Amino acid sequence: MPEQLNTRVEDCYQLAESFFKRSFKRPVVSLKLRGQKAGVAHLHENLLRFNPQLYRENTEHFLKQTVAHEVAHLIAHQLFGDRIQPHGEEWQLIMRGVYELPPDRCHTYEIKRRSVTRYIYKCPCPDSDFPFTAQRHGLVGKGRRYFCRRCRTTLVFSGEMRVE
């Protein structure tokens, strides 16, 4: 666990404790998040998960904004309970009042999309390309059948593959 990340989480908690004049239970912090999300707050588990790739590629902004964003979710939950909106006025109060940051709902980090192979299936209909995922293509290999909605014939693998 990068030390800067833990330090920033702790700093956010200390700011909240000073602002609200009460203590808050510290969360478990994990770098086990992949995909498009920069961070996730699991309210009932008191767990913060962060995306290590986005952290590495956007360290300064990530530490300032993303960490505070996720900590604010846990603080709002501990203060106001389950019946608040995730990015509602309580959360926004914490972002503006405690952390003096804009209550941005989403990050703007560039995300590298991995390429995906599609397996092209066809039927007798004109212009009938059905791009299947590797998972669906594998199911066909195990005997699953898929049908065209127009002509109702079984879709057949054309031998073509496309990388997207």
What is the block-wise mean pLDDT of the chain (164 residues), using blocks of 10 residues? 92 98 98 95 98 95 98 98 96 98 93 87 94 96 96 96 92
- How far CA 2 is from CA of 6, 30, 104, in Å, comes to 7, 10, 24
**Any catalytic annotation for residue 57?**
no
pTM above 0.75, yes or no: no
As a whole number of angstroms, the distance between CA 121 and CA 156 comes to 5
- Residue 114: per-residue pLDDT: 76
Q: Is 44 marked as binding a ligand?
A: no
Q: Is 42 marked as binding a ligand?
A: no
Among candidates 60, 16, 53, 3, which has minimal Cα distance to 32?
A: 53
Q: How many CB atoms lie within 10 A of CB 150?
A: 11
- Residue 1: per-residue pLDDT: 56
Catalytic residue among 45, 70, 89, 110: 70
Instruction: Tell me the domains of the chain and their CATH numbers.
Output: 1-99 (3.30.2010.10), 117-163 (no CATH)
